[in-house]
Amino acid sequence: MATIIDGKAVARALQSEIKDEVEGLKRRWGMSPGLGVVLVGDDPASHLYVKNKEKACKEVGMRSEEHLLPASVSERELLALIQKLNRDRDIHGILVQLPLPAHISPEKVLLAVSPQKDIDGFHPVNQGMLLSGGEGFRPCTPMGIMKLLDSVECDLKGKNATVIGRSNIVGKPVALMLLERHATVTICHSRTANLKEEVGRADIVVAAIGKAALVRGDWIKSGAVVIDVGVNRLPTGKLSGDVEFEAAKERASYISPVPGGVGPMTIAMLLFNTLRAAKESLQREG
Q: Which helix (H) or strand (E) holds 96?
A: strand 93-96
Q: Which helix (H) or strand (E) holds 254?
A: strand 254-255
Q: Does 174 bind ligand NAP (CB under 6 A)?
A: no
Catalytic residue selected from 116, 117, 118, 120: 120
Which is closer to ligand NAP, CB of 114 or CB of 167? 167
Which listed residue (40, 60, 161, 170) binds ligand NAP by CB under 6 A? 170
Closest separation between CB of residue 65 and ligand NAP, Å? 22
Q: Does 257 bind ligand NAP (CB under 6 A)?
A: no
Phi, psi of 4 (to 5 degrees): -80, 130
Which listed residue (3, 83, 105, 190) binds ligand NAP by CB under 6 A? 190
Q: Does 184 bind ligand NAP (CB under 6 A)?
A: no
9-17, 107-115, 121-129, 163-171 -> range binding ligand NAP (CB under 6 A) = 163-171
Contacts of 284 (CB under 8 A, 6+ apart): 116
Q: Does 216 bind ligand NAP (CB under 6 A)?
A: no
Q: % helix / strand / coil in the chain, to the nearest 5?
A: 45, 15, 40
Contacts of 136 (CB under 8 A, 6+ apart): 115, 121, 125, 126, 128, 129, 130
User: Which parts of 221-250 interact with ligand NAP (CB under 6 A)?
Assistant: 229-232
Query: Could you tell me how far CA 248 lies from the centroid of its own chain?
Result: 23
H helix and E strand count, the chain:
10, 11
Give the binding-site size for ligand NAP (rule: CB under 6 A).
Answer: 26
Q: Does 211 bind ligand NAP (CB under 6 A)?
A: yes
In DSSP terms, which residues pair with 66 in a beta bridge?
37
Which listed residue (46, 86, 160, 167) binds ligand NAP by CB under 6 A? 167
User: Which parts of 124-143 interact with ligand NAP (CB under 6 A)?
Assistant: 141
Query: Rounded distance, CA 277 to CA 108, Å?
Result: 22
Closest separation between CB of residue 23 and ligand NAP, Å? 26
Q: Does 164 bind ligand NAP (CB under 6 A)?
A: yes
Closest separation between CB of residue 3 and ligand NAP, Å? 20
73-81, 103-111, 175-183, 260-268 -> range binding ligand NAP (CB under 6 A) = 260-268
Query: Rounded distance, CA 97 to CA 209, Å?
Result: 20
Contacts of 178 (CB under 8 A, 6+ apart): 146, 156, 161, 163, 185, 204, 206
| Residues that bind ligand NAP in the complex, under the rule CB under 6 A | 141, 164-167, 169-171, 188-192, 195, 208-211, 214, 229-232, 262-263, 266
Catalytic site positions = 53, 97, 120
